[in-house]
Structure 1
């Protein structure tokens, strides 16, 4: 490789800002910098550093240069809203701002600053490779505007989540028809302008191709994944003792309070466990989620009331210990998001843990089933059959002997694929 190539990245969150939105490109920036790329990151300037973030992946790296732009949003919008009054005040104020500035998402308030900063860097550094990562989806639109002013750049849109198909759109209120029309128009415009489109799942690729007229060869899949450097030997304890008399199931990630969301699967699982108790099946849950410690206090299910809970802000070494202490790790896709690959699934893969996945279809279910993992739908009969299968594997010792390699989700390998894609000659 001759010299260093420059890459311009437009993203909203970047360390020390945390959240899953900053993880993908913190990791890719680290590994691409080792593949002779200098990454210029244009990201929002937040007033807070998140407790859990990926700053260690990019801090002190001379080939990851961060350029901050103002969010153009008051700082209190990004601080935790701990009371109903705070959440209501934030919702009203953000709604007023949105209507006043006609913003399609929170990043559009800073759209002109993103484009201006990007043009300065392109001019100063002679950059011709640009990646716009979203959501927020307006950064795709920013990339398209940049392409108009700088037609020689090669623009890649990097979809961490769907835009038009996303139910949130970064605003808590219901999405109006006029806003939806504008979002669809902006996304279509960005997709026409882009030279490449990268998505994180095959299901997302299918959704895009079904919604817009895009050359299928232009849309590639590069998954999220796990980083081996997050699991040094020092935090992985020797094999912990496991009792054949009890099946311990770990769940890590968001559950939410929506009774028709992921929580529904957990409640149904608890009911199934109670039904199987008469057959000698003994199952315990360990939950690391967003729910308050006393959330299940009034539930009829003793399994949920007695479930061991740990903080969602637990440090990574402690999280690894909890995962290794469990017999099987649970992954749940919301019924409306069967295409999703939750971030905790990659921890399970990296640590070689047996997995139990609940989803109404989706490519992840297919993949895990092909690898011999246990899967189920939200249907109680399916859940009960899966739990019984897990119990039998646990009692026989087959669960602990299970060994599956998921190295195709190693971020080092995925970054090498991104490197190859960015260096491909365009037709």
Structure 2
């Protein structure tokens, strides 16, 4: 069986969206003639734990681990955070801590000195360990997945040292990621980020991305072919977690994932406030369920619109529990970051939303990648960041259907997002790299 070395920072028991993409690929790669070997840190700084994902890993998959040093221990001490607290990159706007100057200084240091990211100290020892490993063990293709983009730097060095075919998988952009400007980069640091990004795109034999928009964006940096392999849903997850699920008795609007400052949907809060003020029954039935971290800016907005008492906040659930809650909800909220790159954002959660048979309300660009998926699958509606009246009318219509027990949705044209199909597509790329390398 052909062998692929997968370099990933996130691996179970790490939880969250970033880990699932390659856990699912690893789960099914053997079906298509590839034996996965995983390289990951032994002591990563991870956003959350999900022990249930360990069950997704096939038996006897080799996982190589090495200890790494990260600066987050000192960052936590400087900003007054607990040792056990997990750091979330997207929460750069948090106001929970009084050390404002230190917080800003820490962010500036992170952006200007820890390039490409705070996991930079993982690069050199990993290259050394893997170079020795590759001398003794045959590997046909190397895969790196980022962010963190330090993983791609490991791949770049290994490509230069060994010549083994290299596939770089981008789950998010690099210099166009939504929080890039919040890093307060100087000209030198910004130049280095762009140079490293370009090197990775040039040297990688194949580059995969999760959305058409990201493909177009990278093509402006380095013109070449970029292969879109989106995230998806696992039929096995759905089948094992959907037995005897009872819909919520509340008119529950559920959001899964971090509710960050850039995802804070003030137009949605405005529409809900108007409906609460105008309709006593709506006010009695409404529930806003957020499963994931919530930024203080979103809490302040809910207070401003008088909706705080409707919020049911759950900091974290396992992946299995999330699937159940998606089916229980009456509506699912897909909140796109209100940032310059909003059109190309295609979050992983959308694909599990699709198979939940729960209508989706998306707040984001109506001509963006997420909106296009919702439109082609007929599973919901998308509203612009400033739309209020149309959004309000749509929610009221859905509430009326909810009262009649008639709220339904379809999920047409979703088979192409099945994890098994996507793994087959990924394996075909690996086969091409293997074939090309065999010829040369």
TM-score bucket of the superposed structures, by smaller chain: 0.7 to 0.9
2:336/2:364 contact within 8 Å kept? yes
Task: Name the counterpart of 1:110.
Answer: 122
**Alignment of 1:333 onto 2:336:** yes
Q: Residue by residue, what CA displacement relative to the aligned partner does 1:362-391 show, whole Å, maximum 9, x if unpaired? A: 121022123332221122133224324434
Secondary structure class of the residue paired with 1:399: coil
Alignment partners' CA distance in 1, 2:115 and 2:324: 43
Matches within 5 A, 1:16-415: 16-46=13-43, 50-53=48-51, 55-59=53-57, 61-62=59-60, 64-74=61-71, 76=73, 79-80=84-85, 84=97, 103-151=115-163, 153-168=164-179, 173-210=183-220, 212-215=221-224, 218-233=225-240, 235-238=241-244, 240=246, 247-256=251-260, 258=261, 261-274=263-276, 277=279, 284-288=286-290, 289-291=292-294, 295=299, 299-302=303-306, 304-336=307-339, 337-361=342-366, 362-372=368-378, 373-378=380-385, 379-391=387-399, 393-394=401-402, 399-400=407-408, 402-404=410-412, 406-415=414-423
Alignment partners' CA distance in 2, 1:315 and 1:137: 26
1:359/1:376 contact within 8 Å kept? yes
Task: Name the counterpart of 2:4.
Answer: 7
After TM superposition, give the deviation of residue 407 of structure 1 in Å. Answer: 2.1
After TM superposition, give the deviation of residue 39 of structure 1 in Å. Answer: 1.6
Secondary structure class of the residue paired with 1:183: helix
Q: Residue by residue, what CA displacement relative to the aligned partner does 1:153-189 show, whole Å, maximum 9, x if unpaired? A: 11111000000101435x9742222111111111111
User: Once superposed, what is the RMSD of the aligned Cα atoms?
Assistant: 3.4
Query: Could you say if the C-alpha distance between residues 278 and 416 of structure 1 is closer, same or farther in structure 2, counting changes exceeding 3 Å?
Result: same
Unaligned runs of 5+ in 1: none
Secondary structure class of the residue paired with 2:32: coil
Alignment partners' CA distance in 1, 2:135 and 2:63: 17
Report the TM-score when normalising by structure 1: 0.83
Report the TM-score when normalising by structure 2: 0.81
Query: Could you say if the C-alpha distance between residues 250 and 19 of structure 1 is closer, same or farther in structure 2, counting changes exceeding 3 Å?
Result: closer
Task: Name the counterpart of 2:80.
Answer: none
Q: Residue by residue, what CA displacement relative to the aligned partner does 1:268-308 show, whole Å, maximum 9, x if unpaired? A: 33234346639989862331242389946982544x23325
Structure having greater relative contact order (Cα 8 Å, sep ≥ 6)? 2
Alignment partners' CA distance in 2, 1:114 and 1:47: 13
Bigger CA drift: 9-18 or 385-394? 385-394
Alignment partners' CA distance in 2, 1:207 and 1:102: 24
Unaligned runs of 5+ in 2: 76-82, 88-95
Secondary structure class of the residue paired with 1:84: coil
Secondary structure class of the residue paired with 2:175: coil
